[in-house]
Amino acid sequence: MDMNIELFFQYLVAGITYGTIYAIVAIGFNIIYNTTGIINFAQGEFVMLGGMIAVSMHAFMPLPSAILAAVLLTMIIGALIEITFIRWLVKPSVLRMIMITIGLSIIIREGALHIWGESVRALPYFTGTAVTAIDAGGVFISPQVLWVIGISSIVVVALNLFFSYTLLGRQMRACSSNRDAARLCGISAKNMVTFSFVLSAGIGALAGCVVSPITYVQYDSGTGLAIKGFTVAILGGLGNSMAAVAAGMLLGILESFSIWVMPTAYKDVISIAILLLILFVRPSGLFGSKEAFSLKEF
Amino acid sequence: MRFQKYFPVTGLIAAVIAIQLLTYFTDSAYMLTQLTMSAYYSLVIIGLCILMGYAGQISIGHAGFFAIGGYISAFLTTFNLLPHTTNSLVSFFSKTGFLKMSEDLYGGSVLHFQPWAACVMAVLFTIIVAYLIGGPVLKLKGHYLAMATLGFGIIVYRIVLGTSFFGAADGLSDVPPFVIFPGLEVSGKSSARIQNYYIASGLVIAGVIILLNLIDSRIGRALRSIHGAEDAASAMGVNTAKYKLHIFVLSAVFAAVAGALLTHYNGGIGPSEASVMKSVRYVAIVAIGGMANLWGSLIMGFLLNFLSMRGYFGSFDDAVFGAILIIIMLFAPEGLLHKDFFSGIKKMFSRTAKEEEKA
C-alpha cells in the first residue's frame, strides 16, 4: 500500500479515536482496581449497556437526555451489582473474584441478547451524518471523532479534579492507598467500593454512547473492548489513569497501522499479542515502577 | 491397599455400561450421540481440573487448545495435496504412508493425511504451542494469569475465524472417519453409535486412570504443595515452574486429543469451539465440580454438557453456565460436590430442625 501523507494522518486519526475509547475503558478498570484490588471482567459490559440503553431511550427522548438516562441507569446497575454480589464477601480470593466478575459479564451479555437480540445498533451522529467530514488539509475527520476525543478529555480532567478536590474523591483515594487507615479515619471502605463501581459504570456507559455512532454496538461488543481496555491499563501500569491515556493512544495507533502489514481480520490479534508481550516482559507497565509492582499482591 | 484408588474406576466403568444398556432398553439410543460428545468434553474438563484444582493455575484459554487439536486434524485430513505432489515434503509423506487417497462427494480424488497421522501432528503441535505459551504465562499470577490465558484463547479464535484455509466463519467440514482398525472407527455414522460411545468413554476412563496415578505420585504431592503455598513449596526444593509447565502441557494435550477426535466424530469443526465462552464453560464446570476434585469435575462435565446439548437450557445455555459460576463462587467456592458443602447443608438443616423442636 502506498504510504502518502494524507493516508498516514487518516490512520493516525482513526488510531487516536479508538485509543481514546480504550483509555476510557482502562480508566474504568483502574478506578475499581484502585479501591478493591479487583479486575472487573464485566467492565466491557458497562460500555455495551451504555450504548444499548441510549439507543433504546433515544426512541422516546432527544439525544442528550437519552445519553444521560443511559449513563444513570448503567450507574444504578453498577451499584446493584456491587451490592448484590461483592459487598458482603469477606476477603474473597482473587480467583473467586475473577470467576464472579466473569460470570457477571456472561449474565449481562446474555441478558442483553434476550432484551435487544443480535441486531447491531447505533446512536445517530451527534452532529451531521455519517458522511459529514471536516477537511483538515486533505485529512477528513468525522465530527463524531471530535466528540469522542472532546468528551473523553473532559472525563479525564473531571476525574482528576474529582479525585483531587472533592471529599468523596479524596476518601476513595485514601481507601486505595491504605484501606485500614482510611477506615480508622471514619471512611466507610465498603461505600467507597460501591462508589467505585458506580463511577466506572458511568464512565463506561458514557464511552459506549459517544463511540456507538462510529463502532456500532451489539450485545457482545463488550468483551473485545474489555480485553483492549485491560491491555491499555496494563500497558500504562495498573491503577495509573493518566498513563492509561498515553497507553491508549499508543495501542490505538499501533492497531490502526497494523492494517498496513496484516489483514484486518487479525487486528485484534495485534493488540492481544501486545498484551501478552507486556505481561511477559514488563508486567509493571511502560510507565509503572518495577519496585512498586513487586510489592503489590495479585 | 494400593489398588483401592481404582475402586471408583470400576464404578465408572460400570456406570458407562449401565448408561449404554439403559439407552438400549428404553429405546433411546439416539442419546448416545450427546453422551459421546459429553465424554469428549469431559476429557478437556478433567485435564483442566488437574491444572486448576491441583496445580492451582487458572486457564481461560483451554478452548484454544481444543480448537488447535480439532482444526489441525480437520485441516490435514481434508486439505487436498494432489496439486502439490511434486513438493519433496509431500512426496516424502506419501512414501512413508502418512497420506491417503480418497474420493470426495463429487467423485474427484483427494490426497490427504491419514487421520492417525493428522491426530499425532495435531497433538505434537499442541505440545509445542503449550510449551511456548506456558513458559512465560505460568510465571504470572492472579488477574494477569487469567488475562494472559484469556488472551491466548482469543488469539486462537481470531486466527481460525480470520483464516480462509480454516474455513473462516464456516469452519471445516467433510472430515473423514478415523478408522482405528477395520470395523472400529470414530465417525458420526448411526451404525457406529454404540462403538463410538465406548471409544469416547474408554478414553475418559484411560484419562482418569492416568490422572489418578499422577495425583497420587511424587508429582501430585508437589502440585498440591504448589497450590497450598508456592513459595513454601519452592523453598522445600520443589521445582514449581517445571511442574506447573508440565501439567499445563498435559492438560493442553487432553484438550487437543478431545478436539481432534470430536472433530472426526462430528465430521467437522467451527470457530465457536474456540470461543471464549467455551473456555469459560470448562472453567465453570471445574469450579462446580469442586476444583481439586477429579470425580466431581468428571460427573459435572458429563451431566452439564449432556443437559446443554440435549437443549434443556434452551436459549439460556450460556446464561445458565454464567449463573452457576456466580452462585457456586458466592456460596460454595469449594464446589458443589465438596464434602464440606454437604455437611454444611446438613448442619443448616439439623440446626433448623432442632430450633423447631425447641419451639
- How many residues comprise chain B? 359
Question: Which chain B residues are Cβ-neighbours of A223 within 8 angstroms?
Answer: 276
Which is nearest to B50 in space by CA: B278, B226, B223?
B223
Alpha-carbon B48 to chain mean position: 7
Residue B344 contacts A where some CB pair is shorter than 8 Å: no
Q: At what angle do helices B115-137 and B142-162 cross, to 10 degrees?
A: 140
List pLDDT tens digits, range A197-235.
999 999 999 999 998 988 889 998 888 888 889 889 988
CATH 1.10.3470 fits A5-295, yes or no: yes
Mutate to test the interface with A, among B137, B138, B147, B328 (most CBs of A within 10 A): B147
Please report, rounded to a whole number, the percentage of residues in chain B having pLDDT higher than 70.
91
Please report, rounded to a whole number, the percentage of residues in chain A having pLDDT higher than 70.
95
Amino acid at A95: L
Cβ distance of A99 and B283 shorter than 8 Å: yes
Joined together, the cell numbers standing for residue B13 give: 466403568
pLDDT at B338 over 60: no
Cα separation of A210 and A207, whole Å?
A: 5
Residue B325 contacts A where some CB pair is shorter than 8 Å: yes
pLDDT at A159 over 70: yes
Quickly state the pLDDT bin for B225 (edges 50, 70, 90): confident
Residue A263 contacts B where some CB pair is shorter than 8 Å: yes
Residue B103 pairs in a beta bridge with B109
Which is nearest to B176 in space by CA: B85, B73, B93?
B73
Question: Which chain A residues are Cβ-neighbours of B161 within 8 angstroms?
Answer: 265
Residue B151 contacts A where some CB pair is shorter than 8 Å: yes
pTM for the structure as a whole: 0.89
> Are A58 and A65 contacting, i.e. CB atoms less than 8 angstroms apart?
no
List pLDDT tens digits, range B228-279.
777 888 888 788 888 889 999 999 999 999 999 999 999 999 999 999 899 9
Cα separation of B82 and A258, whole Å?
A: 35
Cα separation of B191 and B32, whole Å?
A: 12
Quickly state the pLDDT bin for A298 (edges 50, 70, 90): very low
Cβ distance of A110 and B318 shorter than 8 Å: yes
Nearest to B326 among A39, A95, A100 (CB): A100
Residue B321 contacts A where some CB pair is shorter than 8 Å: yes
Interval A104-124 mean pLDDT: 92
Q: At what angle do helices B294-309 and B317-331 cross, to 10 degrees?
A: 150
Interval B25-32 mean pLDDT: 87
Cβ distance of A85 and B330 shorter than 8 Å: yes
Nearest to B322 among A110, A227, A266 (CB): A110
Residue A227 contacts B where some CB pair is shorter than 8 Å: yes
pLDDT at A131 over 90: no
Predicted local confidence at residue B344, as pLDDT? 55
> Are B100 and B113 contacting, i.e. CB atoms less than 8 angstroms apart?
yes
Predicted local confidence at residue B286, as pLDDT? 92
Predicted local confidence at residue B120, as pLDDT? 94
Question: Which chain B residues are Cβ-neighbours of A114 within 8 angstroms?
Answer: 315-316
pLDDT at B359 over 50: no
Residue A207 contacts B where some CB pair is shorter than 8 Å: no
> Are B153 and B279 contacting, i.e. CB atoms less than 8 angstroms apart?
yes
Question: Which chain A residues are Cβ-neighbours of B141 within 8 angstroms?
Answer: 298
Pick the residue from chain B with its C-alpha nearest to A86: B330
Predicted local confidence at residue B125, as pLDDT? 96
**Angstroms from A19 CA to nearest CA on chain B:** 19
Joined together, the cell numbers standing for residue B342 give: 454437604
Nearest to B326 among A92, A107, A275 (CB): A107
B175, with CB counted inside 10 A (0-12, 13-18, 19+), is buried
Predicted local confidence at residue B204, as pLDDT? 95
pLDDT at B169 over 80: yes
Residue A217 pairs in a beta bridge with A121
Residue scoring higher pLDDT (B353 or B112): B112
Nearest to A102 among B136, B159, B325 (CB): B325
Question: First-to-last CA distance in chain B?
Answer: 49
Question: Which chain A residues are Cβ-neighbours of B319 within 8 angstroms?
Answer: 106-107, 110-111
Question: Which chain B residues are Cβ-neighbours of A230 within 8 angstroms?
Answer: 147
Cβ distance of A230 and B147 shorter than 8 Å: yes
Cβ distance of A85 and B326 shorter than 8 Å: yes
- Domains of chain B, by residue range, sit at 2-358
Cα separation of A221 and B74, whole Å?
A: 30
Count of CA atoms in the C-beta half-sphere (13 A) of B9: 16
**Angstroms from A126 CA to nearest CA on chain B:** 32
Residue scoring higher pLDDT (B290 or A103): A103
Return the number of CB contacts < 8 Å for A and B.
113
Residue B89 contacts A where some CB pair is shorter than 8 Å: no
- CATH architecture entry for B2-358: Orthogonal Bundle (1.10)
Residue A88 contacts B where some CB pair is shorter than 8 Å: no
Please report, rounded to a whole number, the percentage of residues in chain A having pLDDT higher than 90.
40
**pLDDT averaged over chain B?**
86
Residue scoring higher pLDDT (A31 or B94): A31
**pLDDT averaged over chain A?**
87
Residue A93 contacts B where some CB pair is shorter than 8 Å: yes
Residue B99 pairs in a beta bridge with B113
List pLDDT tens digits, range A48-102.
999 999 999 999 999 999 999 999 999 999 999 999 998 888 878 888 888 899 9
Predicted local confidence at residue B346, as pLDDT? 59
Nearest to B151 among A102, A110, A276 (CB): A276
